[in-house]
Chains A and B, each alone.
Chain A
Amino acid sequence: MGNGSGPGSLALAATNLNAVRETMDVNLEISRILNTGLDTETLSICVRLCEQGINPEALSSVIKELRKTTEALQAPENMTSYLETP
């Protein structure tokens, strides 16, 4: 999949790049429809991981965990406020 040498390959690379961009756009759109909350970069990392053969189930659970962790790390102030309500 590397860039070949020669003029033809440049054009090829160019079309490839276009296709890649389009694919990313499509993926982004799908992700937006499905409300996954993934931004572009995260999505691209995910796509790359999937392409490399990672199990999506595992990956999705990882992402979910990470998200929860994020929320948890932002929670302390919420928690205290909640606890004080009877």
Chain B
Amino acid sequence: MATPDQKSPNVLLQNLCCRILGRSEADVAQQFQFAVRVIGSNFAPTVERDEFLVAEKIKKELIRQRREADAALFSELHRKLHSQGVLKNKWSILYLLLNLSEDPRRQANKVSNYATLFAQALPRDAHSTPYYCARPQTLPLNYQDRGTQAVPSSGSLGSSGISSIGMGALGGPAPAPQPLLPGQSHQTLGVGDCLRQQLGSRLAWTLTANQPSSQTPPSKGIPNAVSRSMTRSRREGETGGAMEITEAALVRDILYVFQGIDGKNIKMSNTENCYKVEGKANLSKSLRDTAVRLAELGWLHNKIRKYTDQRSLDRSFGLVGQSFCAALHQELKEYYRLLSVLHSQLQLEDDQGVNLGLESSLTLRRLLVWTYDPKIRLKTLAALVDHCQGRKGGELASAVHAYTRTGDPYMRSLVQHILSLVSHPVLSFLYRWIYDGELEDTYHEFFVASDPTVKTDRLWHDKYTLRKSMIPSFMTMDQSRKVLLIGKSINFLHQVCHDQTPTTKMIAVTKSAEPPQDAADLFTDLENAFQGKIDAAYFETSKYLLDVLNKKYSLLDHMQAMRRYLLLGQGDFIRHLMDLLKPELVRPATTLYQHNLTGILETAVRATNAQFDSPETLRRLDVRLLEVSPGDTGWDVFSLDYHVDGPIATVFTRECMSHYLRVFNFLWRAKRMEYILTDIRKGHMCNAKLLRNMPELSGVLHQCHILASEMVHFIHQMQYYITFEVLECSWDELWNRVQQAQDLDHIIAAHEAFLDTITSRCLLDSGSRVLLNQLRAVFDQIIELQNAQDAIYRAALEELQRRLQFEEKKKQHEIEGQWGVTAAEEEEENRRIREFQESIPKMCSQLQILTHFYQGIVQQFLVLLTTSSDESLRFLSFRLDFNEHYKAREPRLRVSLGTRGRRSAHM
């Protein structure tokens, strides 16, 4: 304050004394000294210097006195005071005023007499009896000074100091039968104040600064209350020695311990992690035990509090964890409420002094009973906290859920309540995911994980995965997979199919009500409420997705197109194509040009039934030239191709397409063999007649025919096997599954199964490499035969041609009138014929070698077939060897097939 006269505190104090007492300076000496002593000794305040706390207290007090208008006025004034900023120590001013305030309602008449009675003794004792000052250390001095005059009802405490004062000072005017009364009232006066000032400000009780002397009503003198007050002061002045702690002190301590604060006698022992009563205290065993039992509540409270405090600092704890902490907080609040009720009970006793009587005072036993329920609650919470240490997200929800499995209905309802709060974030994640396909999960708590690095073309397969650890235990694996699928479908639709239909249109089911209600439903009917929603969403979303795929992107049409073109389903087209391509493909591979081939492809399409296919399909059909190795002819590098993009590419992935191409390769080769043999047969038929005139060739030709027939049979059986056993059956299965599919995953799985089956049955997988090689060898032989046959025919036909020419020349000559043939010509002719006839055995032997080779390969093939694990291959071996033609030649084939119809692989 900017006052010019800065008086020293002493001077001010003296002025104060003068002022209040209304006397001159000289007369106030005693009081002044006393005042100085008080102030000098009690320098530091014992309460928190919190201005706002005090202001709140004042307001509360005013409201308690039903003076709300005044409370509002006070707030206004306080604000003004605060804004002016002139005073530095606003807190102390307010505190002072609060302390000095008086409740106008309190009646002070009668008691004041006692007070005055009593106060009269003061001047004399002002020097040596500072017991009414707030100086704890001096109190015991006081008592010990006065000696102990055992007051029966106050236990073992010497409270006689007061009574003796009372007696001595008042000289008996104090009502004899209640000598303690003045003492008690007086006692509460000073001690109550200092007590209040020394107890922590954490307690929720309001500071009633009413003058105790003016308010303590004449009591009936309950000794216990008195002794309690004595013990209170006694405790204050505890300096050691065998002091008895009474129940009241314990009760107060316990009330602190309930909040986790160490009391005077009951402190937390860190080594043993429990609350212990101070060893020095002289306490009856039962009280000690009861106190320790009650202290457990404090321990539980600490545990829970520690957890929530730790977790609130943890930034990455996530939403589920936060809701868990909030639930715990709520429970703790309830607990605090109970504590404040207990405190106010205690406070009431303090204020009213001895009025309450034994029946309603707080004892340890009463506390035991009242805190029984809270103890169970806290125990459950503490167990939950233990169990949930270090978990977050869906794991945490699972942990809490595990605790609902208990027989105790009270505990179960508590844990269910917490579970409903805790699972709220999880459920909201879930609903967002299955209705909107959105995932906002910064703390990685949900069980669906999204990988941001994945691009849209792999969205379906790679982008979303299940985080198994976060699946809450109230959801089954099946449900969580469905959930994943639903969200994936929605995202797929939005991003890959470019279908922005809002989900509400898709889903006929209206969006659920507030999730907390769902959570409540969740636990009344755990399985079905949840399941219903997920199933409905799943059904609708998948149906919509499949609709879009089929209608907009004609997935099934493309699948069929694959079958027709890549798997050689469209027979006429393939045939015609092969016809057209034949002259091209015999050329070396390096001379082939793609555009030529594409032109031929288009011609083939236009000329056959393929032209009636949808243009979309035909657009995607193309020719692909494989990598050229040296020595390749066109046959080796030719392949058809089918372009896929967009959502179709999700089903027909790159791997799938490569599978298709491999199968196409195999099928194309087999078809080519068939084609070759047809040619050979054609050749036979055409040339048989012509070459009838050359009897020497008949043996060779006969051999050719036989070999060709064998090969034809073989190829026929292979083709049968491929077409019917492999392709048609698998395709049928695939088609059924696809028609019945409920979601895209089913389709993809069915398709992949289809491809796997075909691949393995076409001997293209790694296990059948040997068989495949054999088959290739067979095919090579067929080509050899074709070549050989071509050579024979060429030679034969040439020979025939020459002979015909010769005959013709002869005729010509005869017509001209010359000799038919000259000797030289005839000589030459004969020589040539002889040469020709000599070449025949060569041809024969060539054919024989070929035959032998071929049969050996086929036998080997048969042996391998019978040892294969696939049934249909084994049956193929029966068909191939239907008349045991090979069995006769191959001893290995004669070994019995055994009980399983299969020979062992080691032979």
A→B interface (CB under 8 Å): 1, 3, 13, 16-17, 19-20, 22-23, 26-27, 29-31, 33-39, 41-42, 45-73, 75-76, 78-79, 82-83
B→A interface (CB under 8 Å): 1-4, 7, 9, 12-13, 15-17, 19-22, 31, 34-35, 38-39, 41-47, 58, 62, 70, 73-74, 77-78, 80-81, 84-89, 91-104, 112-113, 115-117, 119-120, 122-123, 132-134, 173, 190, 193, 197, 209, 211, 213
Cβ–Cβ contact A47 & B1, under 8 A: yes
Q: Which residues of the partner chain A approach B70 to less than 8 Å between Cβ atoms?
A: 33
Q: Please measure, in the bound complex, the distance between the C-alpha atom of A13 and the C-alpha atom of B98, giving whole angstroms.
A: 31
Q: Please measure, in the bound complex, the distance between the C-alpha atom of A79 and the C-alpha atom of B9, giving whole angstroms.
A: 36
Q: Which residues of the partner chain A approach B100 to less than 8 Å between Cβ atoms?
A: 31, 34, 36-38, 60, 63-64
**Contact for B7 among A48, A50, A72, CB less than 8 A:** A48
Cβ–Cβ contact B84 & A57, under 8 A: no
**7 interchain pairs (CB within 8 A)?**
A23-B81, A26-B77, A26-B84, A36-B101, A56-B91, A68-B116, A79-B117
Q: Report B379 CB to chain A, min CB distance, Å.
A: 41
Q: Please measure, in the bound complex, the distance between the C-alpha atom of A83 and the C-alpha atom of B197, giving whole angstroms.
A: 35
Given contacts A35-B101, A41-B19, contact A26 B1 (CB under 8 A): no
Given contacts A33-B70, A34-B100, A49-B16, contact A68 B119 (CB under 8 A): yes
Known contacts A19-B84, A71-B115, then 5 further A-B pairs from the complex at CB < 8 Å, ordered by chain A residue: A23-B87, A27-B81, A54-B39, A58-B134, A61-B190
Q: Which residues of the partner chain B approach A35 to less than 8 Å between Cβ atoms?
A: 101-104
Cβ–Cβ contact B119 & A71, under 8 A: yes
Q: Report A33 CB to chain B, min CB distance, Å.
A: 5
Given contacts A36-B101, A49-B16, A70-B21, contact A30 B113 (CB under 8 A): no
Cβ–Cβ contact A75 & B19, under 8 A: no
Q: Please measure, in the bound complex, the distance between the C-alpha atom of A36 and the C-alpha atom of B134, giving whole angstroms.
A: 20
Cβ–Cβ contact B122 & A69, under 8 A: yes
Q: Please measure, in the bound complex, the distance between the C-alpha atom of A27 and the C-alpha atom of B87, giving whole angstroms.
A: 10
Cβ–Cβ contact A57 & B46, under 8 A: yes
Cβ–Cβ contact B3 & A37, under 8 A: no
4 tightest A-B CB contacts, nearest first: A34-B101, A72-B119, A60-B99, A75-B116
Cβ–Cβ contact B12 & A45, under 8 A: yes
Q: Please measure, in the bound complex, the distance between the C-alpha atom of A54 and the C-alpha atom of B120, giving whole angstroms.
A: 28
Cβ–Cβ contact B112 & A33, under 8 A: no
Q: Please measure, in the bound complex, the distance between the C-alpha atom of A18 and the C-alpha atom of B907, giving whole angstroms.
A: 120
Q: Which residues of the partner chain A approach B20 to less than 8 Å between Cβ atoms?
A: 42, 63, 66-67, 70
Q: Please measure, in the bound complex, the distance between the C-alpha atom of A66 and the C-alpha atom of B23, giving whole angstroms.
A: 12
Residue of A nearest to B101 (CB): A34
Cβ–Cβ contact B84 & A23, under 8 A: yes
Q: Which residues of the partner chain A approach B41 to less than 8 Å between Cβ atoms?
A: 58
Cβ–Cβ contact A13 & B31, under 8 A: no
**Contact for A50 among B35, B96, B132, B134, CB less than 8 A:** B96
**Contact for A51 among B1, B16, B113, CB less than 8 A:** B1
Q: Report A58 CB to chain B, min CB distance, Å.
A: 4
**Contact for A19 among B17, B39, B86, B213, CB less than 8 A:** B86
Residue of B nearest to A66 (CB): B20
Interface core residue of A37, A54, A67, A83 (most chain B CB under 10 Å): A54
Cβ–Cβ contact A58 & B21, under 8 A: no
Q: Please measure, in the bound complex, the distance between the C-alpha atom of A62 and the C-alpha atom of B34, giving whole angstroms.
A: 8
Cβ–Cβ contact A29 & B21, under 8 A: no
Interface core residue of B21, B35, B92, B122 (most chain A CB under 10 Å): B92
**Contact for A58 among B15, B38, B209, CB less than 8 A:** B38
Q: Which residues of the partner chain A approach B34 to less than 8 Å between Cβ atoms?
A: 62, 65
Q: Report B873 CB to chain A, min CB distance, Å.
A: 102
Cβ–Cβ contact B113 & A78, under 8 A: yes
Q: Report B171 CB to chain A, min CB distance, Å.
A: 11
Q: Which residues of the partner chain B approach A36 to less than 8 Å between Cβ atoms?
A: 97, 100-102
Q: Report A60 CB to chain B, min CB distance, Å.
A: 4
Q: Report B34 CB to chain A, min CB distance, Å.
A: 7
Q: Which residues of the partner chain A approach B19 to less than 8 Å between Cβ atoms?
A: 39, 41-42, 45
Residue of A nearest to B110 (CB): A82
Cβ–Cβ contact B1 & A61, under 8 A: no
Cβ–Cβ contact B112 & A71, under 8 A: yes
Given contacts A68-B119, A69-B122, contact A56 B12 (CB under 8 A): no
Cβ–Cβ contact A31 & B97, under 8 A: yes
**Contact for B35 among A19, A26, A53, A66, CB less than 8 A:** A66
**Contact for A61 among B73, B92, B133, CB less than 8 A:** B133
Q: Which residues of the partner chain B approach A75 to less than 8 Å between Cβ atoms?
A: 116-117, 119-120
Q: Which residues of the partner chain B approach A71 to less than 8 Å between Cβ atoms?
A: 112, 115-116, 119
**Contact for A33 among B13, B47, B62, B92, CB less than 8 A:** B62
Residue of B nearest to A71 (CB): B116
**Contact for A42 among B16, B35, B89, CB less than 8 A:** B16
Q: Report A61 CB to chain B, min CB distance, Å.
A: 6
